[in-house]
Chains A and B, each alone.
Chain A
Amino acid sequence: MLSLPLRAAILSVVLLAVLLGAWELATQAPAGSVGARVPGPSKLFAHALQELSDPFYDAGPNDKGIGIQLAYSIGRVLAGYSLAALLAIPFGFVIGMSPMWRRALDPYIQVLKPISPLAWMPLALYIIKDSATSSIFVIFICSIWPMLINTAFGVASVRRDYINVARTHELSRFETATQVILPAAAPTILTGMRISIGISWLVIVAAEMLVGGTGIGYYVWNEWNNLNLSSVIFSILMIGVIGMLLDQLLARAQRLVQYVD
């Protein structure tokens, strides 16, 4: 009997083969038809090879390699996300440690949180007057809430015992925060950061479609306008791959701070 991971891997490969086969069959043009069709896997594969062989070419505003477009998007996500983390984690700490602040800020968070980040776009464009910075702002505003809420929750629910350990050992407020509360709340904080990076990556595609110029979102929309469906499908896959990598990065960080109670 084969091991479970191996069997699962074989099943994965079989599923892929079936899927690609069905796709290929479905996109075969019947003899004599002339209409445009969704490209099949073989065509897509050829296109992907060609794109990936030179991902960073730059031949003008409307013709850049997929690598450049992805780099723009990742850069914006990281900029907006880092800013949000820089603000959300210290603020979450304060909210988590102070029941008064928690109550005072709760209504604002409850109202601001459900707003679609793209709804901020017109306001951001008007105030910031720069489309690239506006999309960074949109990433900032969408990734701040999960981090803020999770940090506050993680800090507020640190076990009383750990706080008592800090108190009986006469740790200062700063030492208590860094040596006890931060490591105790770190897994919850990282969960918030992981949710945020996922949302950011979802939102950047939409934001770039809206503001245009550069980035993977713009690229997808541009290729659609060019009716280059191979490019569109290839971009979709690349968005998935990068999203997975970002998530894995945070998952790894989360494992580093995880502890068993």
Chain B
Amino acid sequence: MTDCFLKVENLARRYPGSKDGVALAVFEQVNFTIQKGEFVCIIGHSGCGKSTILNILAGLDQASAGAVIMDGREVAGTSLDRGVIFQNHSLLPWKSTLKNITFAVQARWPQWNKAQVLAHAHRYLGLVGLQGAEDRKPSQLSGGMRQRVGIARAFAIQPKLLLMDEPFGALDALTRGMIQEELVRVWEQTHQTVFMITHDVDEAILLADRVLLMTNGPRARVAESVVIDIPRPRDRSQIIHHPGYYPIRNHLVDFLVRRSKELAGGAHVPGTDSGDMSAAPRVVNPMLLSAGKPVIAGHAG
């Protein structure tokens, strides 16, 4: 499977051990792939290294072992091809809303003239419903509006891969719901490839094509790749009535509550003792659930 857009191979992050020099692996043998245009969420308990994986994908952090290959090239360092939305919006507080976006657009397309930059920035501000807030500083915006500016900025530079580190983690539940819907809308218009960290199972089901499940650290792995086969466009109020919703939700919650612990510490998935096979997460489609036993659809490449 060399045609996939992003390929993460045997990624590991180790810290030098405090005693006897044995390195402590936060995660190791992390393998997964993302197709072009796919929206992939990753869920796992705190400390399993999700943010580190995202930072490695962004080029902000380095892996101890393994490789990330995007578009046939190994990822090294940061790039405008990989946009990042951080948890705490990370807008530049001394710049206005508009300037926060134009600065990114200018960085992306230095050859553009002022009018082109402005038009592009306004388009993406409009996409997240922020017309009229152009001249306000981030401190004059609500938390939800700030995060929307962050989303507009990240989408505006049209990265090949968009990375989101719990983008709604700091928002209250109501705002969070609204912005999730906005994100769904923007994503459906752009079909941007997205890799997103979340703690929220419902958020993952609403947004993702696939959810990667990580076992607990240390030595965390991506154990499963859960297919979310609910048709789009999805709607927050309608999605819960889809017959597949609760089987998926139960599967994800069950993993987080029970199995993430059982599989922790590099325990092998039963029936896949060969080291090579255990590397790839098993693909699960809970919608095909029969008698409470998840159907294993095969191995991801």
Contacts of B94 in A (CB 8 A): 183-184, 186, 257, 259
The distance from the CB of A184 to the nearest CB of chain B, in whole angstroms, is 7
Q: Are B80 and A162 in contact (CB under 8 A)?
A: no
Quick one: given A169-B80, A183-B94, are A161 and B88 in contact (CB under 8 Å)? yes
A183 touches which of B60, B88, B92 (Cβ 8 Å): B92
Residue numbers of A with Cβ under 8 A of B are 161-162, 164-165, 167-171, 175, 179-180, 183-184, 186, 257, 259-261
Distance, CA A161 to CA B89, complexed state (A): 9
B121 interface contact, C-beta 8 A: no
B137 interface contact, C-beta 8 A: yes
Distance, CA A239 to CA B171, complexed state (A): 53
A168 touches which of B58, B88, B139 (Cβ 8 Å): B58
B103 interface contact, C-beta 8 A: yes
Q: Are A261 and B93 in contact (CB under 8 A)?
A: yes
Distance, CA A38 to CA B80, complexed state (A): 73
Contacts of A169 in B (CB 8 A): 80, 103-104, 107-108, 157
Q: Are A170 and B107 in contact (CB under 8 A)?
A: yes
Distance, CA A184 to CA B78, complexed state (A): 21
The distance from the CB of A88 to the nearest CB of chain B, in whole angstroms, is 22
The distance from the CB of B95 to the nearest CB of chain A, in whole angstroms, is 8
Distance, CA A179 to CA B104, complexed state (A): 11
Contacts of A167 in B (CB 8 A): 59-60, 78
16 more contacts with CB within 8 A, not counting A164-B84, A259-B139, A260-B137, are: A161-B86, A162-B90, A164-B60, A167-B59, A167-B78, A168-B59, A168-B79, A168-B84, A169-B80, A169-B107, A170-B78, A170-B79, A170-B80, A186-B94, A259-B137, A260-B93
Q: Are B90 and A179 in contact (CB under 8 A)?
A: no
Distance, CA A257 to CA B78, complexed state (A): 29
Cβ-closest chain A residue relative to B95: A183
The distance from the CB of A2 to the nearest CB of chain B, in whole angstroms, is 32
A-B residue pairs in contact (CB < 8 Å), sample of 8: A164-B86, A164-B90, A168-B58, A168-B83, A169-B107, A183-B95, A259-B137, A260-B93
Contacts of B84 in A (CB 8 A): 164, 168
A260 touches which of B60, B90, B139 (Cβ 8 Å): B139
Distance, CA A175 to CA B104, complexed state (A): 12
